[in-house]
A = this chain, B = another copy of it.
Amino acid sequence: MFVRPSLTSIIRNTTQPIRAMSTIKAHSIVYNNYGEPLEQLKAHSYDINLDSLKPDDILVQTVACPINPSDINQIQGVYPSRPEISIDALPNLESPAAPTGNEGLFKVVATGSNVTGFEKGDWCIPAGVNFGTWTTHKVTKDKNLLKMPKTISKTQAATIAVNPSSAYQMLTQFVKLQPGDWFIQNGANSQVGRAAIQIGKKLGFKSLNIVRNRDNLDELVKELESLGATKVITEDDNESKDYGKVIKQLLNGQEIKLGLNCVGGPSATGLARKLGNDATMLTYGAMSMKPVSLPTGLFIFKNLTAKGFWITGNIKRHPETRLETINAVIKLMEDGDLVDAKYNETQINPNEVSNEEFLQSFLNAIQNSKKGKQLVVFE
């Protein structure tokens, strides 16, 4: 096994006083083997020598990164798009490891002599997947970054690539909805669901939104309506046959041409029953962990199309849509049509944190993910 010479050890062998000025200690969350994050994750630290930046290099510092379900699934090894577990994944590794985290906002700390598109202080997000965003700093190439305007919030920029981009692509790339047309979705209070409500409203679409029953249902309904939801119903309504008449009256002769499913099981079946002729149901998640089950009559006599949606796969097939989507979502955010998503924030001081504290912050955030969306903020 080839182990690259440690930058740290090289630097420690010098006696030049410049070290404190020109090196930055980077901390990154990594794993050596697939498994449960709480067992597998480690913090790895290494020094970045500012003077050693190559002409095309950019050194970035993380501003904020979310904990997404797909990050967890990557660590578990059950997600098809995964970073390689490699000795070259990060500097100074002692054994092959994979970087964690796919989404996040960065700010430029330093640029190599050839870099023209980015300046110190610029905001940027990863251009591709498997960037390893759960880190304090990273040296990368300019082609791996997309610049972000500072006209949107830190949270918006840090979480633009997955949830609102998914909602935008699902609403615009599969069925040609016209203003006044309906779409239906379950998991409507998820981040994708909330983005779909708002983007749909801006595009003139009416939304029929399914949420689980809960104690504070009225509050949630009001909140989603304030975002632009045309109608919010519960899963009990969705799965009830009697409720079909209420929906029919609501639609007033219109047919629902698009459904967004992130739940599966009976919820997806109920959603599909409300679709009209020639409709498309996109499945982008499986919160219930149950398969999508559709009666053959729906497929045949309604000419239903059931497709998967996965933003990583979709961008791989249609790379040109990545930037179009990001730009469209930025515009919606700038215009105030997409409010800040709600995240629980964990603060980290990227320049003072110890390896142990850094790891613990992420482990806490992962554990708290069950209670709500988590964002790790570096400041």
B-binding residues in A (CB < 8 A)? 80, 264, 269, 278, 283-286, 291-310, 313, 317
Q: Is the CB of A307 within 8 A of B308?
A: no
Nearest B-chain residue to A306, judged by Cβ? B306
Known contacts being A291-B295, A293-B291, A293-B293, is A283 close to B308, with CB within 8 Å? no
Known contacts being A296-B285, A296-B292, is A310 close to B306, with CB within 8 Å? no
Known contacts being A285-B296, A291-B293, A293-B291, is A308 close to B304, with CB within 8 Å? yes
Q: How many copies does the complex hold?
A: 2
Q: Is the CB of A301 within 8 A of B292?
A: no
Which of B283, B286, B293, B299 interacts with A307 by CB under 8 Å? Answer: B299
Q: Is the CB of B303 within 8 A of A305?
A: no
Known contacts being A293-B293, A305-B305, is A299 close to B283, with CB within 8 Å? yes
Q: Is the CB of A264 within 8 A of B296?
A: yes
Could you give 15 example pairs across A and B, Cβ below 8 Å?
A264-B296, A269-B291, A284-B300, A285-B296, A286-B296, A291-B295, A292-B295, A292-B296, A292-B299, A293-B293, A298-B308, A300-B310, A302-B308, A303-B308, A303-B317
Please name all residues of chain B whose beta carbon is closer than 8 Å to the beta carbon of A286 when the two chains form the complex: 295-297
Q: Is the CB of B310 within 8 A of A296?
A: no
Q: Is the CB of A305 within 8 A of B302?
A: no
Nearest B-chain residue to A316, judged by Cβ? B303
**A160→B131 CA distance, assembly (Å):** 56
Known contacts being A291-B293, A292-B293, is A299 close to B306, with CB within 8 Å? yes
Nearest B-chain residue to A309, judged by Cβ? B300
Most buried by B among A295, A308, A309: A308
Please name all residues of chain B whose beta carbon is closer than 8 Å to the beta carbon of A80 when the two chains form the complex: 301
Nearest B-chain residue to A308, judged by Cβ? B299
Please name all residues of chain B whose beta carbon is closer than 8 Å to the beta carbon of A304 when the two chains form the complex: 307-308
**A269→B297 CA distance, assembly (Å):** 17
CB distance from A363 to the nearest CB of B (A): 27
Nearest B-chain residue to A295, judged by Cβ? B291
**A295→B285 CA distance, assembly (Å):** 10
Please name all residues of chain B whose beta carbon is closer than 8 Å to the beta carbon of A298 when the two chains form the complex: 308
Please name all residues of chain B whose beta carbon is closer than 8 Å to the beta carbon of A297 when the two chains form the complex: 286
Please name all residues of chain B whose beta carbon is closer than 8 Å to the beta carbon of A269 when the two chains form the complex: 291
